[in-house]
Structure 1
Amino acid sequence: MKVGIIFGSRSDQDIMKKAYDILTDLGIESESYVLSAHRVPEQLHATIRRLEEEGTEVFIAGAGLAAHLPGVIASLTVKPVIGVPLKGALEGLDALLSIVQMPKQIPVATVGINNAANAGMLAAQILGVKYPEVAQRLNDYRSSMKENFLKENNGKVEY
């Protein structure tokens, strides 16, 4: 099982690394690439094809501004694509609207602006449908999250 993480600019690397970190924490292999749907479309197409041949089952695509990258990837594969709208113009609202409004028959799941961590979690949930061990790691992760929350927050706030 593998996830492909693709984003259009090196400047997006710190945000997109959050998807990589979540996947790594959950024991899911991933590969990341800086590829532009506009500047190097041939290399993008070739990379998507190669990743599919190598067993990639979910793609995460981060894009800002016009945010074509997730939709272009979705047009090249029937594997699930998760779009991460990245802040740019209009604080990322333009990217969010571009990604969430894909044409019929070419869907892209979309998470919140700059929320690559949730893209990693969603990719893991998708894989968890097929791989019981991933579903178990997600359950363990959530149990740990709840325990940590309760340790840090007793529920009562005093001023």
Structure 2
Amino acid sequence: MAEAPLVGIIMGSKSDLPAMEACTEQLDELGVPYELVIASAHRAPARVHEWASTAADRGIKVIIAAAGKAAHLGGVVAAYTPLPIVGVPMKTSDLGGMDSLLSMVQMPSGVPVACVAIGGAKNAAIYATQILGATMPEYRSKIIEFKNAMAEA
């Protein structure tokens, strides 16, 4: 039986999947179980609402939200859940992802979204694991091992 997911990954479009492979690969490497859903804040708001508002009840502890352009997905998800949100701004053809980045970091007071760099999918996975590690020693150990391996490389 597969472990219940601890990290929820949501992205606004199937076109975000290739960029988010670095996230899923890093979570796999760290042994963090996750679930992944594609749902746009603008095209499927009811699906986003349902998924985000039930995430904590499903055992999710951290959410990673990837979106481009207006990049409202992370903020919309944050409005529906008490869980921490890590935003991943996607690179865009129009403004190279600056539009996504600026949208994500300009959240209204009381609805925070932590934000990594444009296309920072790998760092989002590492940060989510660090959040888990704050209360789950097995993931803190994974991060310690990961950082030690980086120092030795």
For the aligned pair, the TM-score class normalised by the smaller chain equals over 0.9
Structure 2 CA distance for aligned equivalents of residues 138 and 103 of structure 1: 31
Whether 1:77 aligns to 2:42 is no
Please name the residue that 2:133 is paired with.
Answer: 128
**Residue 113 of structure 2 aligns to which amino acid in structure 1?**
V
Structure 2 CA distance for aligned equivalents of residues 13 and 52 of structure 1: 23
CA RMSD of aligned residues (A): 1.0
Structure 1 unmatched runs, 5+: 149-159
Please name the residue that 1:144 is paired with.
Answer: 149
- Tell me if the contact between 2:55 and 2:81 (Cα under 8 Å) persists in the aligned partners: no
Whether 1:50 aligns to 2:54 is yes
Structure 2 CA distance for aligned equivalents of residues 71 and 48 of structure 1: 11
Structure 2 CA distance for aligned equivalents of residues 90 and 41 of structure 1: 25
How many angstroms does 1:44 deviate by? 1.1
How many angstroms does 1:51 deviate by? 2.6
Whether 1:15 aligns to 2:15 is no
Structure 1 CA distance for aligned equivalents of residues 116 and 134 of structure 2: 19
Structure 2 CA distance for aligned equivalents of residues 79 and 50 of structure 1: 11
**Residue 73 of structure 1 aligns to which amino acid in structure 2?**
V
**Residue 141 of structure 2 aligns to which amino acid in structure 1?**
Q
Structure with max Cα Rg? 1
Please name the residue that 2:35 is paired with.
Answer: 31
Structure 2 unmatched runs, 5+: none
TM (normalized to structure 2)? 0.93
- Provide, for residues 78-117 of structure 1, a one-character-per-residue CA deviation record: whole Å limited to 9, x for no partner: 1000100001121000110000010001000000000110
Match of residue 107, structure 1, among 93, 108, 112: 112
Structure 1 CA distance for aligned equivalents of residues 79 and 130 of structure 2: 22
- State the number of aligned residues: 148
- Tell me if the contact between 2:61 and 2:84 (Cα under 8 Å) persists in the aligned partners: yes
How many angstroms does 1:49 deviate by? 2.8
Structure 1 CA distance for aligned equivalents of residues 30 and 126 of structure 2: 9
TM (normalized to structure 1)? 0.90
